[in-house]
Structures are given as C-alpha cells and as structure tokens.
Amino acid sequence: MPMTDMQQYSLPDAQGHFGPYGGVFVAETLMPALAELRAAYEASRTDPAFIAEFGHELKHYVGRPSPIYHARRLSEKLGGAQILLKREDLNHTGAHKVNNCIGQALLARRMGKPRVIAETGAGQHGVATATVAARYGFECVVYMGSEDVKRQAANVYRMKLLGASVVPVESGSKTLKDALNEAMRDWVTNVSNTFYIIGTVAGPHPYPAMVRDFQTVIGKECLAQMPETFGRQPDAVIACVGGGSNAMGIFHPYIPHEDVRLIGVEAAGEGIATGRHAAPLTANARPGVLHGNRTYLMQDENGQITETHSISAGLDYPGVGPEHAWLKDSGRAEYVAVTDGEALDAFHALCRFEGIIPALESAHAVAHAMKIAPTLGGDKLLLVNLSGRGDKDIHTVGECSGIRF
C-alpha cells in the first residue's frame, strides 16, 4: 500500500489479514467460536447503545479522559524537544489494559457468556480482567506462568481479592506465552460458556482489530487534546510495544496524519546483539505463525519459539501484534528498541524530575523519547504513551539497586 493510501487506511480485510500478517490460525474447534465473536463484535461496534455504554463505563469507572501532561522539567533537563505524557497510568487499575477489558466484558455479557478467562504475564491484564469480572459478575480464571506467579505475588493476591482464580502454568518456559497456550486450551474445552479476554492486539482475528478498536480511545482523545492544549498535533507519537496494544491504541487514529511520526519501542533486554531480548521487529525476526496469527516471531532456525528476555514482564513476549508487522513493512511506523538499562534510567529520571513512577514497560517509551529529544529543536513535540504506573515494579527496580524488601 503506497503511503498516499494511508488516508483510506482500513485494515484488516474481512478475513483479518494485514497484508501477509494476521489471520485465523487456530484448531478447528475454535473456528465457530471465532465466527460467533466476529459476528457479535461487528453488530456491537456500530450499535449506538453499545458505544454509549462503553463510553459511560470509560468515563465513570475508568476515569477517562486521561490528561496529557507536559513533562517540563524533564524536557528542560534534556534540552531539546518537549516531552508530553498521555497519562494512561491514571486509569482505574493503573494502566491502559482496562479499556480493552471493559469492551470485551460488555461483549461477553451481550453474548451471554457467564465465564471469562485471560492470560497474564506480569499480572496487569490479569488484574484488569479480574476487575471487570467483579464489576459485571463473571466467573474469572486467569492463567499465569508459574515463574511469573513467583515474581508477581502481589498481583496474584490482587486478582484473588477481586474473586478470580489464578492458575499457575507449569509447561514450556512457564511465562506469558505458555499462559496464552493454556488459556487457549481452556477455551477449546469450555468454548460454549466461556469468553476469552485476550489482553493485546494479537491472537486470531478478530482480536487484533477488536482490542485495537477498544484501545483507540487513547489516540482519539489525543487528537482532540493536542490542538486544545498545545495548539497542534505532535511531531512524533512514541509507545512501547510488547504485543502492542497501547501502541496501536495511540497510533491508529494518527495513521492518516502522515506528518506525525509513529515510533514503537521494543524491549532490547540485554542488547539486540546478545540475543537476549524481546524485539522481533527491531531484530528483523522471521515471520511465522503462533497464537492464532502470522507475525514477526522470535524463533530458532527450526521454527521453535525461543525464550525472550526483558526486565519488563509486560514486554517479554516472542511475537508482536500483526498490525505492527504490517506498519513496519509499510514504513508508516518505525520500530526501535531500548535496553533494560536504558529503561531503568528513564524510570528513575521520570521519578526524580516529574514525580511520576512509570511502569517499566512505559519507561521503554520514555527512554526513547529521552534519547531523541536532545537531537530535536525545543519547538518539537514528542507525545509519549505513559501506558501504566510503576508501583508493581518497585520490587524489580529495588533489586537492581541491591535493595530487598
């Protein structure tokens, strides 16, 4: 698709394809369930009653709209472009994840499903799912790799407080991808009464498009807020990318605004060259098929999925949403990666200069903004999606400084 066609950007196609990416790569048992979900979502997304209820919940339960905050001290310290933060960290539950969970919960209720399941890595999507399950009265089961259960005891307890069952997953690498496998196995077993709330813009169609649509509230607010508060649209929008839901949420409304650079920031872990990272786009990993869609994947030469590494559990995933794969190939978005160390530096900088403790995921986006801001003029505007708050990460950060709680 040539750049001029970005004005009419309308992917995915009816089969859920973003060029060669996306699609519906699942076992036969789930094909009818996905067809049912597509039909329910298509009917709901244009239904004024559904749209109104979604908007009402986002306003009164989540606390939207979230503000855009000018990080003046940090910008002055860096001596270049102005850094603006879209404050998704101020949402109820502390991250952007809840936007999508509310959308899918409303859909589950419409479809008459009494039970919801989810996968989670660090626990943020699990907590958001448990939250909406309590809010709407669903039975809730969250799958979490047993390694992550050990590392994220507080979030496990949070989910239990909210009434969810947390199932530790012992297979494979015992992390997020294995939790996703196990959630798929639950879904295939309980498909008639269960709604699978996927937390990111990956999985089989319609999930990548549906999760994106629920998250575009972020970018749509920015489109209105930027001219009101800052007189114009930003020069660049910067967001971290694991699966990529916060990035798609803020990028998507800006795709037709071709003078706005879209920059996705992946986790370089210990460095791209070390192989210990979670940056399939930046590292030009080979595309393949996993978790229901075709996309860039971290894999070995035999097509086995390899273990990833990032200090941020939310970015520690071997794939990436298929729309990001397409945006990379088309050139409309750029993808870069920052290391664990750079993300930690940004975490501390935001704490000390702005009084904001960011999630380690979001700190990756801040780190890249801090890298490029000094190279740009003081009149340039960098809009960073501050996708979550960092209370959950203080143990990880403390341990890096040799502190044990």
Partner 1 sequence: MSRIQSVFQNLQLAGRKALIPFITAGDPDGELTVPLMRALVAGGADIIELGVPFSDPMADGPSIQRASERALAGGMSLAKVLDIVRAFRAGDTATPVVLMGYANPIEAMGQAAFTAAAQEAGVDGVLVVDYPPEECADFTAGLRAAGLDPIFLLAPTSSEQRFRDVAGAGGGYIYYVSLKGVTGAANIDFDELARRIPRVRAAVDMPVAVGFGIRDAAGAKKIGALADAVVIGSRIVEEIQASPRERAAANVETFVRGVRAALDEAAGATP
Token pair belonging to 277:
């990272």
Is the Cβ–Cβ distance between 323 and 208 less than 8 Å?
yes
Residue 185 in contact with partner 1, rule: CB under 8 A: yes
Query: Smaller CB distance to partner 1: residue 120 or 215?
Result: 120
Residue 171 in contact with partner 1, rule: CB under 8 A: yes
Q: What is the CA radius of gyration of the chain?
A: 20
In whole angstroms, the minimum distance from the beta carbon of 279 to partner 1 comes to 19
The Cα 84–Cα 101 span in angstroms is 26
Question: Which of the 8 DSSP states describes residue 27?
Answer: -
Query: Smaller CB distance to partner 1: residue 24 or 383?
Result: 24
Which residues share a beta bridge with 293?
A: 290
Residue with tokens 């791209």, as numbered in its chain: 272
- Please choose, from the candidates 295, 316, 360, the residue with its C-alpha nearest in 3D space to the C-alpha of residue 175: 316
Q: Residues 3-22: x/- map of binding to partner 1 (CB under 8 A)?
A: ------------x-------
Q: Which of 12, 18, 24, 202 binds partner 1 (CB under 8 A)?
A: 24
Q: 381 burial class (0-12, 13-18, 19+ CB within 10 angstroms)? A: buried
> What is the CB-side half-sphere exposure of residue 20 using CA atoms within 13 A?
10
Residue 387 annotated among the catalytic residues of the structure: yes
Which residues share a beta bridge with 334?
A: 263
Segment interacting with partner 1 (CB under 8 A) among 2-10, 123-131, 291-299, 359-367: 291-299
| SS3 category, 63 | coil
> What is the CB-side half-sphere exposure of residue 220 using CA atoms within 13 A?
9
Q: Which of 146, 181, 225, 233 binds partner 1 (CB under 8 A)?
A: 181
In whole angstroms, the minimum distance from the beta carbon of 283 to partner 1 comes to 16
Between CA 359 and CA 360, with CA 79 as vertex, the angle to 5 degrees is 10
Segment interacting with partner 1 (CB under 8 A) among 76-84, 175-183, 350-358, 379-387: 175-183
Query: Smaller CB distance to partner 1: residue 301 or 379?
Result: 301
Query: Smaller CB distance to partner 1: residue 32 or 63?
Result: 32
Is the Cβ–Cβ distance between 269 and 317 less than 8 Å?
no
In whole angstroms, the minimum distance from the beta carbon of 211 to partner 1 comes to 19
The Cα 34–Cα 303 span in angstroms is 26
How far is C-alpha 165 from the geometric centre of its chain's CA atoms? Answer: 23
Q: 378 burial class (0-12, 13-18, 19+ CB within 10 angstroms)? A: exposed
Q: Which of 29, 165, 284, 375 binds partner 1 (CB under 8 A)?
A: 29
- What is the size of the binding site for partner 1 (CB under 8 A)? 39
In whole angstroms, the minimum distance from the beta carbon of 115 to partner 1 comes to 14
The Cα 42–Cα 61 span in angstroms is 24
Catalytic, out of 44, 57, 75, 97: 97
Q: Residues 33-62: x/- map of binding to partner 1 (CB under 8 A)?
A: x-----------------------------
Residue 259 in contact with partner 1, rule: CB under 8 A: no
Segment interacting with partner 1 (CB under 8 A) among 43-51, 244-252, 283-291, 338-346: 283-291
Peptide linkage before 20 cis (omega within 30 of 0): no
The Cα 30–Cα 9 span in angstroms is 29
Segment interacting with partner 1 (CB under 8 A) among 139-147, 259-267, 302-310, 344-352: 302-310
Q: Which of 79, 302, 377, 405 binds partner 1 (CB under 8 A)?
A: 302
Residue 112 in contact with partner 1, rule: CB under 8 A: no
Beta-strand pair 68-70/139-145? unpaired
Residue 362 annotated among the catalytic residues of the structure: no
Residue 31 in contact with partner 1, rule: CB under 8 A: yes
Query: Smaller CB distance to partner 1: residue 40 or 127?
Result: 40
Q: Which of 121, 208, 242, 292 binds partner 1 (CB under 8 A)?
A: 292
Q: Which of 8, 10, 14, 28 binds partner 1 (CB under 8 A)?
A: 28
Token pair belonging to 387:
């996708």
Residue 97 annotated among the catalytic residues of the structure: yes
Residue 172 in contact with partner 1, rule: CB under 8 A: yes
Is the Cβ–Cβ distance between 94 and 391 less than 8 Å?
yes
Residues with a known catalytic role: 97, 119, 387
Using CB under 8 A, list all residues that contact partner 1: 15, 23-33, 171-172, 177-178, 181, 184-185, 188-192, 286-292, 294, 297, 299, 301-305
